[in-house]
Amino acid sequence: MSMAPHSKLDGEAGARLLAKAQWRWYEVLFWLAAISLYFVFGDFIPGIPTKLMLLSEIVSLGLLALSIDLVLGYAGIVTLGQGAFFGLGAYVAGVMAKAGMGVFPLSDPLLGLLAAAAVCGIAGFLTSFLVLRGSDLTRLMVTLGVALILAELANQMRWLTGGADGLQGVTSSPILGQWDFDLWGRTAYLYSLAVLFVCFWLSRRIVHSTFGLSLKAIKGNALRARAIGVPVNARLIAIYALAAAIAGVAGALLAQTTQSASPDMIAFHRSADALLILVFGGAGYLYGGLIGAVLFRVMQDVIGAFTLQYWQFWLGLVLVLLVLFVRGGVIGLLEGWWNRMTRTGDAP
Amino acid sequence: MSYVLETRGLCKSFGGIVATDNVSFKLPAGARHALIGPNGAGKTTFVNQLTGVLTPTAGQILFEGVDITGWTVRGRATAGIARTFQINQLFADLSPLESVVLAISERENAGAHWFKPLGARDDIVNEACALLDALGIGDVRAARVGALPYGKQRLLEIALALAAKPKLLLLDEPAAGVPESEREQILDVVARLPESVALVLIEHDMHLVFRFAKTISVLVNGALFCEGTADEIARDPRVRQVYLGEEDVGHG
């Protein structure tokens, strides 16, 4: 008998699995840094310009990239159409707030978020059946096609969406009847950050659960996943619909904080930008989309400052280098450095 | 005698090629059966129909007396049919422990739990650890599957199949490609499989076949060529002729 001695570490095995779901110090640091930006760029310190509107937009973009991470980074579904749910969410929140004329209940921002999540979740559920079958290329084309259809619908339905001009004067009532959106974007930033955190926390619970593990298994080997009894299609439908709902929330945030909804929010470049941001930051970490969104907009600003029109050239160059030489984007790069540093630290 | 698995007139053709030719086959509960045949005899095609990967062109498949011909892969897996793959089909980026915990969770209908963190169910983690220990791969349970030696990956294939507590286990060349040094461990695991599991071994290696199988079916050109006990097959001159060729059959 070559049976291995029975391990005494069984209790430890469960603890080690559980430990993966625990919050790390650098995560706490990340969120503290995000909050501190409020005080740095909120027009509290003389001499530092207020940047909270830009930061709110970054939060919304990061949330969109996070939603792509759920389907691409964890479940392995390639999508070029997540911007469709983003835009749909923006229009749902925009139409609602406008119809409510800035008064509770229709113009309540939280209600707007929930409505956007519900509508986009349903839209995601209905279109999920299109991405169940087929190769990566099929999925790319199908998601792109759905996005183009929605964008054109938004453009044509002038009576509802304002057509090419978009919806102006989207005024939300104060959040919980307490906090009104101000000119400096203080409320907007804290509100966006809070919504981002709730969505992030939910996503984090999901990817560290058995459900999340089954997504990774499907991504790794769908044939084997089926053979051990994983209902592959049901899991993919669930995560695709959930990610659509989160993308809708991201769009609703942008509509509420910028007080408008426009065809630009549902345009194809949203999907492409968000996918690029995720790959740039690193897919499969949850933080990749958030860090990617910050770097994307900062690079846009910095590079744009001295080569006005050609910033995308440099962005493209960095992206190509990153994808070719580093697995896992910026976070993959940091992870590699970290591993090397801790290893040399251990050496005598 | 009760049969765990039965096929009636099973046929599968790909265009003009007949891969499974009118196979009627019965497997009693707790069987130790081997399915042998030369390369291209249609062994894996037959197994793929049993597990639902391929749909038969004609005929029926019964599992515990129930017609499962139209069932999905997952439906059959849940009902109690498990298999290992000839070529490893594993989750390269997960650990062996995670892989087996997932398989057990799905069996226990806990696979869709999305709020509780992984590892919260002690019973599942303990069962997974015990299974990995029993197969002799408990020491590498936290490693990355893709980085494991081939022999350990083959054992994990068997562990994933056993995690479902199957009534029928289809082992597709379990020791294929395993270096001699790791081989004995796999044979040992196969020998110790619980009596309650009906076993079908799809194998080329005659030593393995005669060591474990009590009954044997020979598949040639997609059709059942003959069936019998291991002794009968070993002595059958027709089998020697069509399949075993010059090979020395009697030793096992």
CB B112 to CB A212 under 8 A? Answer: no
> Which of B117, B129, B160 minimises the CB distance to A13?
B129
The domains of chain A are located at 52-346
CB B126 to CB A235 under 8 A? Answer: no
Q: Which residues of B touch A215 (CB under 8 A)?
A: none
B-facing residues of A in 84-123 (CB < 8 A) are: none
Is B118 part of a structural domain of the chain? no
- Position A298 scores a pLDDT of 87
Dihedral of alpha carbons B225, B230, B231, B237, sign: positive
Phi-psi region of B136 (alpha: psi -120 to 50; beta: other; left: phi over 0): left
Distance CA A154, CA A157 (A): 5
The partner residues of B82 in beta bridges, in order of sequence, read B169
**Hey, what amino acid is at B161?**
A
- Position A225 scores a pLDDT of 95
CB B101 to CB A3 under 8 A? Answer: no
CB A216 to CB B141 under 8 A? Answer: no
Q: Which residues of B touch A225 (CB under 8 A)?
A: 91
Confidence of residue A4 (pLDDT cuts 50, 70, 90): very low
Residue with tokens 């009847």: A177
Is B151 part of a structural domain of the chain? no
* Chain B contact present for A4, CB below 8 A: yes
Residue B194 contacts residue B82 (beta carbons within 8 Å): no
Across the beta sheet with B81-84, the strand order is B81-84, B168-172, B198-202, B32-36, B215-220, B223-229
Q: What is the pLDDT of residues A65-122, one digit of tens each?
A: 999 999 999 999 999 999 999 999 999 999 999 998 888 888 999 999 999 999 999 9
pLDDT over threshold 70, residue A2: no
* Chain A contact present for B116, CB below 8 A: yes
**Residue A220's closest CA among B82, B108, B106, B98?**
B98
* Chain A contact present for B84, CB below 8 A: no
For an interface test with A, give the residue of B53, B71, B74, B155 to mutate (most A CBs within 10 A): B74
CB B91 to CB A21 under 8 A? Answer: no
CB A210 to CB B134 under 8 A? Answer: no
The number of C-alpha atoms within 13 Å of B181 and in the hemisphere containing its C-beta is: 3
For an interface test with B, give the residue of A228, A233, A246, A339 to mutate (most B CBs within 10 A): A228
Distance CA A161, CA A342 (A): 54
Is B133 part of a structural domain of the chain? no
**Residue A67's closest CA among A244, A328, A211, A273?**
A244
3-class DSSP state of A100: coil
pLDDT over threshold 70, residue A253: yes
Is B71 part of a structural domain of the chain? yes
CB A213 to CB B98 under 8 A? Answer: yes
- Position A343 scores a pLDDT of 74
Residue A285 contacts residue A73 (beta carbons within 8 Å): yes
Rounded to the nearest angstrom, the minimum Cα separation between B15 and chain A is 22
Is B103 part of a structural domain of the chain? no
Residue with tokens 């398989």: B103
CB A16 to CB B142 under 8 A? Answer: yes
* Chain B contact present for A305, CB below 8 A: no
Is B177 part of a structural domain of the chain? yes
Does the reported pTM lie above 0.80?
yes
Rounded to the nearest angstrom, the minimum Cα separation between B13 and chain A is 22
- Position B76 scores a pLDDT of 94
CB A210 to CB B116 under 8 A? Answer: yes
**What's the domain count of chain B?**
1
Q: What is the pLDDT of residues B103-117, one digit of tens each?
A: 999 999 999 999 999
Is B74 part of a structural domain of the chain? yes
* Chain B contact present for A228, CB below 8 A: yes
Q: Which CATH number fits domain A52-346: 1.10.3470, 1.10.3210, 3.40.50, 1.25.10?
A: 1.10.3470
Q: ipTM value of the model?
A: 0.88
Whole domain around residue B179: which residue ranges? 3-89+165-244
The partner residues of A175 in beta bridges, in order of sequence, read A179
For an interface test with B, give the residue of A210, A216, A237 to mutate (most B CBs within 10 A): A210
pLDDT one digit per residue (tens) for chain B, 252 residues: 589 999 999 999 998 889 999 999 999 998 999 999 888 888 999 999 999 999 999 999 999 999 999 999 999 999 999 999 989 999 999 999 999 999 999 999 999 999 999 989 999 999 999 999 999 999 999 999 999 999 999 999 999 999 999 999 999 999 888 888 888 888 888 888 888 899 999 987 788 888 889 999 999 889 999 999 998 988 888 887 776 554 544 443
CATH number at residue B205: 3.40.50.300
* Chain B contact present for A232, CB below 8 A: yes
